[in-house]
């Protein structure tokens, strides 16, 4: 195969303009306009509105390319486009080649009649998607899409829905050549398709590799093939294919197979498969891919609670722990301040083993899936349909079929691919949301998601599970959000204003969406605002809050949980504490009921621009409190507490494949650290299970404390908003906390604290935190001690960015707490101990008290 790479330097302009500007491919209109300083940064202040106007124009891209005599002599010359966004006419040497209407698929067209030896010109005209949606509204009056952010009329255009706005994203429908483009020449034949099936039995693995070829020119010309399998150590097995005719199958018995496991369950060894097509001992085409040896199934067996829904990997039932992934930017080829690898590493650092690719965005790049393979993240892969109805015209049906085949063939070999899911929230919407619902569109829904897509998956990737929608109980509009079957999206905590403890009333089989908003990091806010913008209800902050009720809901939950912050920076801190605590309530509860519930992917992992949202990592890659909390509540071994009134229980969840043995310790303490009671217990928890360790009633301990404080024993009580019990002024509950931890061989694997009243009612003492900072070869070490109990201790640097190994932690009195900062995580690589000491700042929940005085 010969190739002329068309990536790189192009020129572009508005169709009606004469002036050309430099352009880069892969890229986009808005990215090129920004680079040429024709538009301001659309993410700064309220520039979104101005830049959106530029999406109402049509644009032209153009460049020259050279074709030599060898390429011209090829039997077939094709133009291969991996991503055109979206409505485009493509010309070569002034001749129309193809018209496209789907950014989610690739296009390939024979251009041998259109090219000439020497210089050639390629031009692409992109038509405004903003204008096109207005036409679609008139042409398809019955179709609907959610109006909670997006422009109307977007469902019939096969373009990433989120680009038109969402309740966390801006309305910036970009366009352009967003993935690779090339001219390719083939002689005698080419590899069309490779599909690998794995057979696992008794520790042995056999690969069945289906090879499909196209034969050009003289069909009697003999073509040969070879399959190379290289194991993680570099050892190679080679199997030849003496004669290739159309489709052949090769069998390889893998020597000493090494299994691939999700993160936390084992290692991720990868094998390289290389398929060569030869003519007369010369390689004329080659395809390479990496695979992991594993089985992934979705168990839906009926049980005592209803019907299971769980990933089973290599025969091991997996509790899925992760979050939902959205596109990383609205300008898809823009450098975002952190790479996809940084983001995937953030997932691994927070103990994820799963990530859901949400259906309103894009099918991510090959690199994304390579990283998920490498780091061990099971991918829940939505097809790109979300929160809309779709009318199945012949043209629409054909392009979505091609889209599905393209992406299935591109992604199906990945070890990380866990399931294909038809859409996001459309089955649920048909049953419970308020929008026009003509019968023929309901029938179109069933045809697309319960006939067309499953049939394509069965044909193209029969080894991967298909699920019709998220949430769903299995399809057919049969109670799609049933808590006892399938997967659930639960939003009563947040949209429904239910307290955090409401999560404990549900034992979902798999909760694939639930979330809670917070503001982004203060440094991120400073990047898109000026000082006068830094008020929750300023014009600019509201432009960067796309959920209409969002700011009000943050304040609603703030009133239930914390004291009102005095300044904006404290409000940012408080909002992140609320977010972390809310999600922790849900995840810890479901993990305590491992076996019944087997999955938690919160909404959402990341942002596509700087915004108040449900993300745990903001647009610039800064970890919010939630992401630090996820590192703890997704830990493979988790000790968690469930409190109610003066009672509490401790449960140890073991999500490893080994027996866990150690000691659980607990102590009831006064806010100054005085121990009121304590206990410990040796424990053994079987692999892949959860075990309640102890149930405690602290009424007598608290009564003794009340007596010692000369408080009345007979006090009035009432139920708090979070289900706790609160007492009159001076009651011990307001100055008592429970500290607990699991210890193994002298190491604390999991630790936590619990209050019996909301933090706003706790009697906080000045913790008088002392700090000592040391420098080691590869890290800085921060040592902290306090004289009184304090929660949610937040460390930050005033100027540089870094990642702490722990943050938003609790300090118990008179015990040293150690936090590390790896030097490689610092945004300023050359960083002295004096710099760090000068910039280090500390914020705690106690500060919400003292700042008011």
Long-range contacts at 37-45 (CB < 8 A, ≥ 24 apart)? 42/170, 42/172, 42/330, 42/331, 43/170, 43/528, 43/609, 43/610, 43/619, 44/528, 45/528, 45/529, 45/530, 45/533, 45/540, 45/543
CA 115 to chain centre: 43
Cis peptide before 275 (omega within 30 of 0): no
Both tokens of 312, joined, read 């089973």
Question: For residue 528, what are the CA distances in angstroms to 44, 523, 537, 612, 747?
Answer: 4, 9, 15, 12, 43
By annotation, the residues acting in catalysis are: 425
Bridge partners of 518, per DSSP, are: 613
Close Cβ partners of 474 (under 8 Å, ≥ 6 residues apart): 300, 468, 485, 486
Give the orientation angle of helix 453-460 with respect to helix 394-411, to 10 degrees: 30
Q: How many helices, marked H, and strands, marked E, lie in the chain?
A: 18, 49
Q: Which residues of 319-342 are buried (b: 16+ CB within 10 A; e: fewer)?
A: bbbbbbbbbbbbbbbbebbbebee
The DSSP 8-state label assigned to residue 426 in this structure reads H
- Angle CA 664–626–790, to nearest 5: 60
Give the C-alpha separation, 380 to 157, whole Å: 24
Close Cβ partners of 675 (under 8 Å, ≥ 6 residues apart): 667, 668, 669
Give the C-alpha separation, 738 to 743, whole Å: 16
Q: Which residues of 661-690 are buried (b: 16+ CB within 10 A; e: fewer)?
A: ebebbbbbbbbebeebbeeeeebebeebeb
Q: 165 with 546: CB under 8 angstroms?
A: yes
Both tokens of 557, joined, read 């939950």
Give the C-alpha separation, 418 to 430, whole Å: 26
Q: 552 with 68: CB under 8 angstroms?
A: no
Q: 646 with 758: CB under 8 angstroms?
A: no
Bridge partners of 207, per DSSP, are: 198, 252
Q: Residue 64, class by beta-carbon neighbours within 10 Å (0-12 exposed, 13-18 middle, 19+ buried)?
A: exposed
Q: 359 with 382: CB under 8 angstroms?
A: yes
Total Cβ atoms within 10 A of residue 556: 13
Q: 72 with 115: CB under 8 angstroms?
A: yes
Give the C-alpha separation, 514 to 600, whole Å: 9
Give the C-alpha separation, 747 to 745, whole Å: 6
Give the C-alpha separation, 564 to 558, whole Å: 7
Give the C-alpha separation, 788 to 782, whole Å: 19
Give the C-alpha separation, 205 to 254, whole Å: 6
For 160, half-sphere exposure in the C-beta direction (CA atoms, 13 angstrom radius) is: 30
Q: What is the CA radius of gyration of the chain?
A: 29
Please name which of 208, 277, 279 lies closest in space to residue 240, comparing C-alpha atoms. Answer: 277
Q: 509 with 467: CB under 8 angstroms?
A: no
Give the C-alpha separation, 272 to 257, whole Å: 13
């Amino acid at each position: 195969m010969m190739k002329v790479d068309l990536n790189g330097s192009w020129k572009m302009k508005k169709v009606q303009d004469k002036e050309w500007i430099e352009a880069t491919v892969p890229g986009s209109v808005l990215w090129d306009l920004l680079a040429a300083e024709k538009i301001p940064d659309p993410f700064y202040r309220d520039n979104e509105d101005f830049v959106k106007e530029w999406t109402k124009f049509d644009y032209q891209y153009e460049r020259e390319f050279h074709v030599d005599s060898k390429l011209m002599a090829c039997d077939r010359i094709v133009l291969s486009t991996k991503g055109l966004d979206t409505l485009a006419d493509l010309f070569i040497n002034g001749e129309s080649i193809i018209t496209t209407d789907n950014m989610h698929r690739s296009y390939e067209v024979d251009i041998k009649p259109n090219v000439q030896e020497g210089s050639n010109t390629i031009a692409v005209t992109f038509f405004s998607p903003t204008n096109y949606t207005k036409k679609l509204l008139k042409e398809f009056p019955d179709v609907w899409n959610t109006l909670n952010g997006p422009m109307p009329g977007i469902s019939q255009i096969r373009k990433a829905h989120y680009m038109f706005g969402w309740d966390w994203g801006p309305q910036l429908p970009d366009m352009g050549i967003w993935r690779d483009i090339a001219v390719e020449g083939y002689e005698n034949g080419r590899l069309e398709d490779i599909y690998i099936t794995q057979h696992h039995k008794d520790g042995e693995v056999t690969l069945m590799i289906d090879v499909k070829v196209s034969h050009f020119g003289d069909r009697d010309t003999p073509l040969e093939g070879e399959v190379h399998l290289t194991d993680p150590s570099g050892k190679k097995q080679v199997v030849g294919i003496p004669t290739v005719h159309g489709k052949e199958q090769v069998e390889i018995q893998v020597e000493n197979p090494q299994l691939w496991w999700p993160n936390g369950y084992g290692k991720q060894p990868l094998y390289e498969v290389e398929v060569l097509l030869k003519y007369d001992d010369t390689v004329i085409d080659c395809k390479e891919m990496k695979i992991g040896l594993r089985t992934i199934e979705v168990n839906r067996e009926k049980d005592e609670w209803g019907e299971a829904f769980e990933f089973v990997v290599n025969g091991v039932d997996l509790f899925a722990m992760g979050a939902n992934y959205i596109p990383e930017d609205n300008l898809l080829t823009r450098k975002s301040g952190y790479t996809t690898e940084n983001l995937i590493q953030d997932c691994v650092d927070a103990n994820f083993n799963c990530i859901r690719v949400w259906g309103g965005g894009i099918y991510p790049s090959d690199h994304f899936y390579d990283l998920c393979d490498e780091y061990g993240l099971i991918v829940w892969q939505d097809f790109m349909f979300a929160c809309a109805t779709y009318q199945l015209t012949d043209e629409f049906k054909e392009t979505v079929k091609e889209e599905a085949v393209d992406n299935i063939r591109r992604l199906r070999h990945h070890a990380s691919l866990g399931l294909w899911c038809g859409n996001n929230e459309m089955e649920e919407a048909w049953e419970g949301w308020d929008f026009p619902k003509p019968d023929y569109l309901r029938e179109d829904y069933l045809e697309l998601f319960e006939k067309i897509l499953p049939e394509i998956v069965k044909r193209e990737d029969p080894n991967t599970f298909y699920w019709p929608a998220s949430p769903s109980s299995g399809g057919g509009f049969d109670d799609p959000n049933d808590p006892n079957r399938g997967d659930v999206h639960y939003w009563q905590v947040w949209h429904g204003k239910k307290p955090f403890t409401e999560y404990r009333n549900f034992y979902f089989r798999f909760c694939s969406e639930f979330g809670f908003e917070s503001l982004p990091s203060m440094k991120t806010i400073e990047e898109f605002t000026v000082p006068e913008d830094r008020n929750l209800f300023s014009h600019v902050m509201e432009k960067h809050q796309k959920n209409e009720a969002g700011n009000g809901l943050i304040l609603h939950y703030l009133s239930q949980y914390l004291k009102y912050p005095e300044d904006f920076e404290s409000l940012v801190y408080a909002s992140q504490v609320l977010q972390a605590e809310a999600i922790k309530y849900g995840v810890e509860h479901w993990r305590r009921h491992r076996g019944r519930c087997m999955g938690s992917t919160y909404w959402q992992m990341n942002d596509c621009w700087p915004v108040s949202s449900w993300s745990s990592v903001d647009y610039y890659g800064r970890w919010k409190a939630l992401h630090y909390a996820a590192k703890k509540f997704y830990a493979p071994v988790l000790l968690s507490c469930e409190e109610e009134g003066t009672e509490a229980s401790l449960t140890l969840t073991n999500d490893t494949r080994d027996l866990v043995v150690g000691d659980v310790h607990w102590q009831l303490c006064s806010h100054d650290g005085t121990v009121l009671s304590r206990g410990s217990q040796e424990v053994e928890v079987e692999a892949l299970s959860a075990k309640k360790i102890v149930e405690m009633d602290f009424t007598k301990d608290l009564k003794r404390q009340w007596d010692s404080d000369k408080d009345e024993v007979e006090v009035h009580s009432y139920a708090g908003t979070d289900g706790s019990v609160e007492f009159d002024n001076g009651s011990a509950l307001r100055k008592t906390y429970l500290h607990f931890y699991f210890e193994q061989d002298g190491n604390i694997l999991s630790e936590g604290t619990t209050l019996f009243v909301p933090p706003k009612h706790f009697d906080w003492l000045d913790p008088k935190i002392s700090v000592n900072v040391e420098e080691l070869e590869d890290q800085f070490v921060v040592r902290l001690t306090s004289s009184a109990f304090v929660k949610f201790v937040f460390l930050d640097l005033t100027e540089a960015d870094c990642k702490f190994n722990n943050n938003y932690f609790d300090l118990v009195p008179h015990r040293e707490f150690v936090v590390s900062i790896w030097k490689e995580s610092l945004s300023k690589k050359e960083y002295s101990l004096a710099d760090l000491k000068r910039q280090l700042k500390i914020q705690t929940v106690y500060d919400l008290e003292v700042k008011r005085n």
